Structure 1
Amino acid sequence: MALQDTKTMPSVVIIGGGIGGIINAIYLKRKLGFYNVTIFEQSDDLGGTWNDNTYPGAASDVRALFYSLSTDMHSDWAHSNPGHSELKAYWKGLVFKYGFEERVCLRTRVVSAEWDNERQIYTIEVVDLATGQSRTVHANAIISAIGSLNVPHYPEDLRGIRERFQGPQFHSARWDHSVDLSGKRVAVVGSGCSAIQMIPHLSEDPTTSVVNFCRTPSWILPPMQTSIPSFQRAVYRFVPFAMRFHRWATFMQHEIIYALLIRGSPKSFTRWWCMKVLQNYLMDTVPSEYHERLTPRYPFGCKRFVIDSGYLDALNRPNNDLNCDGIAKITEKGILTKKGDHLEFDVIIQATGFVVDEYPIKIVGSEGVAIQDYFQDQNGPTAYKGTVVPGFPNFFITFGPNLTTGHGSVVFTHEAQATYITQMLEPVVKGFASSFEVSHSATDSWNLRVQDKISGSVWTQCQSWYRAGYSGKNTAVWPWSMTELWWQLSAPVWSHYQAVGAERWERKRRWSAGMKAAEVAILMGVVGWGCAHFEDVLQAATGHVRIVSNSFLIEDDSFGFPSTAFLLRHSETDTTFVLDLGIHKEWKTGLPPVVVAELQKLSRVEVPVDVTACLEKGGLSPSDVDYVCLTHVHFDHSGNPAAFPNSIFLLGESGKALLDDGYPTNPTAHYMQDLLPTSRTRFFSLQEGEWNELGPFPRALDFYGDGSLYIVDTPGHISGHISILARTSPDGGWIMLPGDAVHDWRILRGDAEIGHHSKYGCLHADKLVAEDTIRKLRELMKEPRVRIALAHDQVWYDAAKEAGRDFWPGKFQSL
């Protein structure tokens, strides 16, 4: 979204440019229209896991359709389980698609953050890894998206490897591509996913001798990776819902695995049967000498299972060996086993996993306690629903404690969390609250429930990275289904949180509860009437406008009009969006003297009821309106912005020049320089953001990022004029609100021509451009599911008023 002036907006810092960070940035933009985020990434590029893990064979063990964003599924995956480069390109591409590339700070490490109770912000210290220079930034909220699988783990038996071993050595997540493994003796330490993926690729070269040191074998499932033929990809592209159905089917497969093989007793029949099947697969694939070494001595599901990518077949190669004797120590030339054998190697690769029970950044919360100290007191990382920590307001952890499903997709978890985090941040980024902090009691209660579910389960039957090393507490596993995870994170339980400065948010929530039904409501009910005359004046019960001959359209001696405003509510987020503000009830005090003089000479203006009164009649306080968008800055559309103390104002970029040159700096100006609050006004720039073609209009901006409301460039009437195209129903109903792009149905239908610009009325600053915009509106009008509501439609207004409908708080209907 091409908006400007973010210095005074609420801000969110995202730590980490991996999948979790990218998803949360996208959700904030799509669901809240919020874009003032800064992503700090300590690596040299985006992608997280898929930027760090570049070892041969690195790939997702979850199918691509279930490892991609649900809103941006990709139909052209060449393989069911893509490799690291393809995955990195996909996730990095989303950053550019949503316009966050300029909000990413690469090679920048977050060192610490401390909450300021008085200012209700975090003070964050970051260091530029390229220069070593430190700086301080501030944010209203932090989303920690560093993940739990990013800090390499170096086991005790490999201690001293850097000091003793004379050859190259590195962790699988820090692969050294400068090391040529051809003709080398290579030790791979580890038996998890990374080792099992890389070893088949390393041993493809017959000159490379590979020994895999395995301490605890994994349960290995038969290969499931397949190439995706072009026909199937074409089906995904062109058959509606085919790709989404396949994604749903994959989700259900994972849920069935949980139901049959993971939950329940460690000695269940289905688990026993599964273990027998996998054991038979093992024995049919590897040499008999490895049967016992590779058979796990713990029940299936205790650790994350691994999908075979050629590992078992590779053990049949003469240059591949398996050693399960244990490592006693690292020597200058290799590895000494616990059996006393000394094996020499040229290269040692550590595929030994990650540190998951420590948080690497010092975060100090509202109680003056560092998050590391809180975790220590809890015998390991602990959070409420894996997302928030008591004592740390507006601080969120993605893929946090006890959110590893063990059978599902991390992307699913990230999206569920992003839904939750977005709802928590909505009142903060919109200025309705300062902070939310989960209570200790809610957190303790939640974690008692989690640990109770884990006790007696299959996850207690072995030692794994799921459990904190210093306490044995399981701090990683989500002990329920993915469906339960989605449900628990679908909406916050606000009573579990302590809020600061949230009175307006509480009022807004109460109001929203009673107003769910209306998506689009019209604020007419005499929002404001302008009465202008040249020779005589026509009066109506609530005011009327008579414009001079030929001002609006040719061959019309007079023209009466109401001035209208519209309220649009987002059906999912309840975001309130007001388009135009009608006429200021005290209009003489809010206009430059030259305009007041002209209006008094030519008209009589009456405003019995203004926008604020209409809103309050419908139960909505102006202070609770999220956005006010002005199609342009004429007095009969700009109303009284001061009555909306918390709204973000939206205006076309060219409108900024009109206001900057406004009264009193320019005594002859027609616009007040201080009409809109500088700190809360955003200007749409046609040179920035994702302006795309939409129907007949060449430039339209998806405001919420979900296709529900578009800002449409409709030039001609005045510099910076914009309109709104909003979806009103899930089956494709739309409403076009063109502001002053066109003033009369006779013009739109082609029955009359637009009038000429005169000193008595500014119809269109550029008639030719305005006619082209009207031509586009005529094309749009041909669409059967699109309704158009003119801002000054006297005929519509009279009919609606006579029928007793369509006025706020009623639902909009067109004739």
Structure 2
Amino acid sequence: MAVRVVVVGAGFGGLGVAHALRGAGVQDVTVLERGDDVGGVWRENTYPGAACDVPSPLYSWSWATNPTWGRRYSTQPEILDYIRRTAAADGLRDLVRTGTSVTALEHVDGTWRVTTDRGVLEADVVVPATGQLSNPSIPGIPGADSFAGPAFHSAQWRHDVDLTGKRVAVVGTGASAIQFVPAIVDRVSQMTVFQRSAPYVVPKPDRAYTAAHHRLFERHPGVPAGERRLTYWITERFNGALEGTSPITRPLMATIREAWRLQLRRQVRDPELRRRLVPDYELGCKRLLFSNDWYPALDRDHVDLVTDAVTAVEPEGVRTADGTLHEADVLIWGTGFAATEFLGGIDVRGVDGLPLDEVWADGARAHLGMTVPGFPNLFVVYGPNTNLGGSSIIGMLEAQAGWITEVVRRIDAGAAHQVAVRREAWESYDAEMQRRLGNGIWAGCDSWYRDGGRITTNWPGLVAEYRRRTARVDWSELEEVSPRPTSPRR
């Protein structure tokens, strides 16, 4: 009987796995999506100014190139439209059950029991593809729920709240904030931005594609393909620089740092404000951000950048460590996501009821970022140590989709039933990851890449290396967990 596969999440990762499985002849695939449509983070994050910081020709599926991108760096509505159109054209949309939240995954008698808010399914293989940036994070600041006005996270934007003429408090200066702050700054009467750590913000070489560009792309597909290859080559050089093993690490980082310094000096008039916008950590240790209008937005007369620590939220505003109450009408959290809480919100239990939370008590780890001993036929997409400091994550997701598909094809053919990584391979791989990450640039500061003393989110090498390591399944690293069950399927 054909293998039953349940994919959790209908973003780039989950849909990419479904595409690869269907292409390999695996027909019984169901994609469960908690939202009301496909799209993942690009469906959820609708804040003003939302856009990608990877050029569009590379930030797209290799099997679904798009010559009609409107910009080099596409905006959220256009990316979401691309995902929707591609999913529909490829037949993937028919596999998706929307409005279905998965609450538990339990391995019972050789089968995965998938519990949702709309009932229970059974599957031979489960592929969680919920991503690292799916669950918004709001810090546990005293009084966070006491604010009298509208308060919301950037990933849960309240479009019904009119910001015109309002006093707006923004907590956080990460990748989302540097996009939505410039987009709303001219509508508000006063803005207070609370910065815990200054980011490095470098110029974004963005531009709109004209009708002439689109004619060129349509008539000569090699042009956008060439841009994709060039962007990939450039970002791979940056990935190598972050690992610290590339001979161009120092000159490349020096060039990026100079671009940051010149932009800051050119765009911020006030020397004191410039001083507060200088990061206190090494370039690359935290996520490098791209924007042409972040610094000008902070340099407005009605904008105040506060670097004192936030100690409390009160009905009237935000109080900082110096005792000042910064009054506001609207509070926006730009505090990112619970990136290290992989599969957050899903109770996962493997063989003999083993809780995944227990295995990951001191930090998530998975062989190739996908498989954990004791959890047969559970393969995580965009799992531990697969995030990138540079380049397009879609390259990593497609590599994972190919590896998972090879495993599922073997299961589907009856050559195996339940497979998971051998413990020694899992431990050896994790030791390698932590050793390499400990020698790289991310080890030098506290960031969302870390869970305690471990860097659990990021991949330490090039995308090309990860592709090589996942191009073929090394079956010596996997083991058959138990024989095929004899009980009939329900």
Deviation at 1:289, TM superposition (A): 2.3
Deviation at 1:214, TM superposition (A): 0.8
Deviation at 1:24, TM superposition (A): 0.7
Partner of 1:489: 470
Distance 1:343 1:475 in 2: 36
How does 1:126-525 map onto structure 2 within 5 Å?
A: 126-128=116-118, 135-156=119-140, 158-162=141-145, 164-205=146-187, 207-260=188-241, 263-264=244-245, 268=250, 270-287=252-269, 288-358=271-341, 359-360=343-344, 361-376=346-361, 379-468=362-451, 471-499=452-480
Are 1:47 and 2:30 an aligned pair? Answer: no
CA contact (8 A) 2:243 2:461 kept: no
Deviation at 1:432, TM superposition (A): 3.2
Secondary structure of 2:275's partner? Answer: helix
Deviation at 1:270, TM superposition (A): 4.2
CA contact (8 A) 1:80 1:227 kept: yes
Deviation at 1:367, TM superposition (A): 4.1
CA contact (8 A) 2:202 2:259 kept: no
Which of 106, 112, 116 pairs up with 1:122?
112
Q: Which amino acid aligns with 1:228?
A: Y
CA contact (8 A) 1:433 1:501 kept: no
CA contact (8 A) 2:203 2:259 kept: no
Deviation at 1:256, TM superposition (A): 1.7
Closer, same or farther in 2 for the Cα pair 1:113/1:439, shift >3 Å? same
Structure 1, unmatched stretches of 5+, are: 1-7, 129-134, 504-678, 680-815
Distance 1:397 1:286 in 2: 44
Secondary structure of 2:135's partner? Answer: coil
Partner of 1:25: 18
Distance 1:70 1:102 in 2: 21
Which of 57, 61, 69 pairs up with 1:77?
69
Closer, same or farther in 2 for the Cα pair 1:261/1:498, shift >3 Å? closer
Deviation at 1:82, TM superposition (A): 1.2
How does 1:364-763 map onto structure 2 within 5 Å?
A: 364-376=349-361, 379-468=362-451, 471-499=452-480
CA contact (8 A) 1:258 1:481 kept: yes
Q: How many residues are paired up?
A: 481
Q: Which amino acid aligns with 1:390?
A: P
Which range moved further: 284-293 or 411-420? 284-293
Secondary structure of 1:196's partner? Answer: helix
Deviation at 1:151, TM superposition (A): 0.8
Closer, same or farther in 2 for the Cα pair 1:273/1:61, shift >3 Å? closer
Distance 1:483 1:502 in 2: 36
Closer, same or farther in 2 for the Cα pair 1:289/1:70, shift >3 Å? same
Residues 527-576 of structure 1: CA distance to partner in whole angstroms, max 9, x if unpaired? Answer: xxxxxxxxxxxxxxxxxxxxxxxxxxxxxxxxxxxxxxxxxxxxxxxxxx
Q: Which has the larger radius of gyration?
A: 1
Distance 1:271 1:60 in 2: 22
Residues 318-365 of structure 1: CA distance to partner in whole angstroms, max 9, x if unpaired? Answer: 222211112111111001111111110000000101112223211111
TM-score, normalization: structure 2?
0.94
Residues 672-704 of structure 1: CA distance to partner in whole angstroms, max 9, x if unpaired? Answer: xxxxxxx9xxxxxxxxxxxxxxxxxxxxxxxxx
Secondary structure of 1:253's partner? Answer: helix
Q: Which amino acid aligns with 1:122?
A: W
Residues 111-132 of structure 1: CA distance to partner in whole angstroms, max 9, x if unpaired? Answer: 111112x4x220111113xxxx
Deviation at 1:269, TM superposition (A): 5.1
TM-score, normalization: structure 1?
0.57
Q: Which amino acid aligns with 2:121?
A: V
% identical equivalent positions:
31
How does 1:783-798 map onto structure 2 within 5 Å?
A: none
CA contact (8 A) 1:260 1:270 kept: yes
RMSD, aligned α-carbons: 2.0
CA contact (8 A) 1:261 1:300 kept: no
Distance 2:358 2:77 in 1: 38
Structure 2, unmatched stretches of 5+, are: none
Deviation at 1:273, TM superposition (A): 4.6
Deviation at 1:35, TM superposition (A): 2.9
Distance 1:277 1:309 in 2: 12
Secondary structure of 1:464's partner? Answer: coil
CA contact (8 A) 2:376 2:481 kept: no
